[in-house]
Amino acid sequence: FLLLGFSEHPEHWPLRFGLFLGMYLVTVLGNLLIILAIGSDQHLHTPMYFFLANLSFIDTCFSSTIVPKLLVNIQTQDHTISHTGCLVQMYFFMALALLDDFLLAVMAYDRYVAICLPLHYTTIMCPQRCLLLVTTSWLCGHFLAFSLTLLMSQFSFCASHSIQHFFCDLLPLLRLTCSDTHVFHIMMFSEAALSGVVPLTCVLVSYVHIVHTILRVPSAGGKHRVFSTCGSHLSVVTLFYGTVFLVYFQPSSSYSADTGMVASVMYTMVTPMLNPFIYSLRNRDMKGALWRLFG
């Protein structure tokens, strides 16, 4: 295949290379600092920060699945990718994106238990249950991604092999196949409902209960503390789901390559880059851990 995303306007290639490289380095460095700060500080060995460390690791892998190949393509102007390489990239992209979905729902559930059921928090969110939630998220993400990738590997691509995107994504690949995609579409939208709508519903239900609990807190200081704790997570959820829904929850016939690329930049580069800043700048414990790490 040929990955033709961002291949036009040669005069803009150096600027794009510098911009994407800078975003990638900030993403990797920021998320690794979050992981190191949580791992080195005993005060942060709690379920909330355990989930945050996992999210940072997933974001690092997520960007690393896509951005290095894009940088090589821009630098060398060799836009080719093998059939196997394309499917492997698509598999890891989907698996890690699905993991983000599930983990954001798990983090919302953790906040719900901490705020609405504080007396039972240590019992409900015990280490074994936290590990089970994360392991289940990993298994579900990889299983759903593998099933779609296996089905895609059976397709024939007899038309143009030029992908109007900067990585091997589902919808651009579907536009190139001459095989019958009816079963694939049913499976894709079923998995989208399972891995997108269900976790988002869990997030929304959790925050409905959280808001209801917050409104009953008598002190303004108490309300502010709870809102500051949940604000970071809500910001990440809004950024991630907003761009993902823009791309994937539409018929493939109306898919726009330009819109898809812009939205994809948002959730593959911008959101993973902003997550460390959102969680560290709005969190006193995380800022303290980072100071101690540097100290």
Domain boundaries, the chain: 2-294
CA proximity to 244, closest of 187, 199, 185, 205? 199
Share of the chain above pLDDT 70, in %: 90
Angle at the Cα of 189 (from 187 to 191), degrees rounded to 5? 65
Backbone torsions φ then ψ of 286, nearest 5 degrees: -65, -40
Q: What is the mean pLDDT of residues 186-195?
A: 84
Does position 198 have pLDDT exceeding 60, yes or no?
Answer: yes
Does position 253 have pLDDT exceeding 60, yes or no?
Answer: no
> Rounded to two decimals, what is the model's pTM?
0.87
Residue 252: pLDDT band with limits 50, 70, 90: low
Q: Phi-psi region for residue 9, left (φ > 0), alpha (ψ -120 to 50) or beta?
A: left
Query: pLDDT at position 197, please?
Result: 82
Query: pLDDT at position 244, please?
Result: 72
Share of the chain above pLDDT 90, in %: 35
Per-position b or e across 73-89, b if 16+ CB within 10 A of its CB: bbeeeebebeeeebbeb
Residue range 76-116, pLDDT digits in tens:
888 899 999 999 999 999 999 999 889 989 999 998 998 88
Measured CA distances, 242 to 75, 96, 247 (Å): 31, 17, 9
Query: pLDDT at position 248, please?
Result: 64
Distance between CA atoms of residues 115 and 131, nearest Å: 21
As assigned by CATH, the class of the 2-294 domain is mainly alpha
H helices present in the chain, as ranges:
13-40, 47-76, 83-116, 121-124, 127-152, 170-174, 182-192, 198-214, 220-248, 257-265, 271-281, 284-294
Query: pLDDT at position 149, please?
Result: 93
Q: What is the mean pLDDT of residues 185-207?
A: 85
Tokens of 211: 């808001």
Q: What is the mean pLDDT of residues 122-127?
A: 93
69-78, 214-223, 245-254: range with highest mean pLDDT: 69-78
Residue range 6-29, pLDDT digits in tens:
777 777 788 889 999 999 999 999
Q: What is the mean pLDDT of residues 221-231?
A: 67
